[in-house]
């Protein structure tokens, strides 16, 4: 089967560096999402793999809370930018790899990680090959390790508004949001004997508001409890899957 969708992603992110994906130091929005993801990880966090790190939008914040962090991305130019920041800030616990998650078993076959994390990566992958991604990632996990991802809620109506506002956003790159990628990923994980630890929608306030007034995240927690808002108007999903022991 062709890796055409992956080649499109690779070419786009090697040529374009969207401003909304840039790393900015000490951003409340990044701290908020990293905190949500960390709450889904149990046990040791000595060796973490971040899948689809990009320029490091969440990498540096995540690295503050773990032992060693390996960041992998399909676009070499994105990794170059991440490395530039890594040298600038003197991060000693981040390792970078240029590679495709569809072939990661060959790239990291000798490595073992306590957990695998990702921010907004699954919807970029070809949904018909998510089973391959699961098959490739699971052997890299230590026993009891988890794969945890934060992804867009495909029912959230304002993703389309974001595409209009953000000139750097591209339909061909982001259209996977409106597929059943979460369902396919879960199915592939269950088929391999994994346990779904967590799958919930969250969030409400937009990033610019969180960055200007971090305390508004408490409003998120209140609104998330309202069923209709939770299903449709919460923009994110946190998914955590545990490898069987």
**What's the sign of the alpha-carbon dihedral 19, 22, 26, 31?**
positive
Q: Nearest CA to 154 among 184, 125, 176, 122?
A: 176
DSSP codes of every residue in 136-152: HHGGGEEEEEEEEEEEE
**pTM surpassing 0.75?**
yes
Question: Which residues, in sequence order, are CB contacts of 130 under 8 Å at separation 6+?
Answer: 122, 181, 184, 185, 188
Count CB neighbours of 94 within 10 A: 22
pLDDT for the residue 2: 43
Residue corresponding to tokens 């076959």: 109
Q: Which domains does the chain have, with CATH numbers?
A: 4-242 (3.40.50.150)
CB atoms within 10 A of CB 215: 8
Find out whether 93 and 68 touch, Cβ atoms under 8 Å: yes
> What's the CA gap between 75 and 56, in Å, rounded?
12
Q: Whole-angstrom Cα distance, residue 234 to residue 155?
A: 9
> Which pLDDT band, with edges at 50, 70 and 90, does 170 fall under?
confident
User: What digits encode the pLDDT tens for the residues 30-78?
Assistant: 999 999 999 999 999 999 999 999 999 999 999 999 999 999 999 999 9
Predicted local confidence at residue 114, as pLDDT = 97
Cβ-proximal residues to 17 (8 Å cutoff; 6+ apart), any chain: 55, 77, 78, 81
């Amino acid at each position: 089967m062709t890796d055409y969708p992956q080649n499109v992603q690779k070419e786009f992110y090697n040529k374009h560096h969207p401003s909304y994906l840039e790393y900015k130091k000490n951003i409340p929005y990044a701290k908020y999402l990293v905190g949500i993801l960390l709450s889904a990880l149990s046990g040791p966090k000595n060796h973490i793999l971040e899948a689809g790190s990009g320029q490091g939008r969440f990498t540096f914040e995540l690295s503050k809370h773990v032992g060693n962090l390996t960041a992998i991305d399909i676009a070499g130019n994105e990794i170059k930018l991440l490395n530039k920041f890594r040298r600038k800030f003197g991060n000693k616990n981040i390792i970078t790899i240029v590679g495709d998650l569809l072939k990661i078993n060959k790239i990291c076959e000798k490595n073992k990680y306590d957990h695998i994390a990702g921010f907004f990566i699954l919807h970029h992958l070809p949904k018909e090959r998510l089973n391959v991604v699961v098959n490739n990632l699971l052997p890299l996990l230590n026993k009891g390790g988890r794969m945890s991802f934060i992804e867009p809620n495909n029912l959230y109506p304002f993703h389309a508004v974001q595409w209009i506002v953000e000139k750097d956003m591209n339909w061909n790159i982001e259209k996977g949001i409106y597929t059943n990628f979460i369902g396919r990923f879960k199915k592939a994980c269950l088929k391999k004997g994994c346990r779904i630890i967590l799958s919930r929608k969250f969030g409400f306030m937009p990033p610019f508001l969180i960055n200007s007034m971090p305390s508004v995240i408490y409003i998120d927690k209140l609104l998330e409890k309202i069923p209709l808002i939770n299903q449709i108007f919460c923009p994110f999903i946190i998914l955590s899957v545990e490898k069987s022991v």
